[in-house]
């Protein structure tokens, strides 16, 4: 079966929405490190949906972060604050997943849920 660009965009937006729901569910049981991971991936999938829509090619997480800043932040399509949020989530995901003895608390991660919802809405508006 072959897929269209629109299929890919929709698939990635659904992955974004699912990751956000997973983050909310994990927040209920206070798994903050994993919430950070799922919040990052929610943004990541939304960004890659936008890239698919715009035919922007980027492969690695670092490459996608760089292309995100070039195509969405530096152009003014998204605010600097949303660029900082993406960077923060990227770093928190790296720390939670790979750094020994790293652990996040509710007061650090929980407020990011609402910010990620805004991030996703803005990406969807651009698509």
Summarize pLDDT for 15-54 with one digit per residue, the tens.
999 999 999 999 999 999 999 999 999 999 999 999 999 9
Taking the model in full, what pTM does it have?
A: 0.95
Query: What's the average model confidence in pLDDT over 85-95?
Result: 96
| Nearest-angstrom CA–CA distance, 125 and 77 | 10
In order of start, what are the domains of the chain with their CATH numbers? Answer: 5-126 (1.20.120.330)
- With CA atoms as reference, report the closest residue to 71 among 58, 84, 87: 58
| Nearest-angstrom CA–CA distance, 17 and 44 | 11
| Nearest-angstrom CA–CA distance, 99 and 120 | 27
| Nearest-angstrom CA–CA distance, 4 and 8 | 6
Cα 59 to chain centroid distance, Å, stands at 15
| Nearest-angstrom CA–CA distance, 52 and 58 | 10
């Amino acid at each position: 079966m072959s897929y269209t660009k629109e299929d890919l965009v929709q698939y990635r937006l659904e992955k974004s929405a699912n990751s956000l729901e997973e983050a909310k569910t994990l927040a209920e049981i206070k798994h903050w490190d994993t919430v950070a991971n799922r919040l990052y991936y929610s943004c990541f999938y939304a960004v890659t949906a936008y890239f698919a829509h715009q035919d922007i090619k980027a492969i690695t997480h670092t490459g996608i972060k760089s292309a995100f800043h070039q195509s969405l932040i530096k152009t003014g399509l998204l605010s600097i604050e949303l660029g900082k949020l993406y960077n923060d989530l990227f770093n928190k995901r790296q720390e939670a997943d790979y750094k020994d003895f790293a652990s996040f608390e509710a007061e650090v991660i929980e407020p990011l849920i609402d910010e990620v919802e805004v991030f996703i809405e803005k990406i969807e508006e651009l698509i």
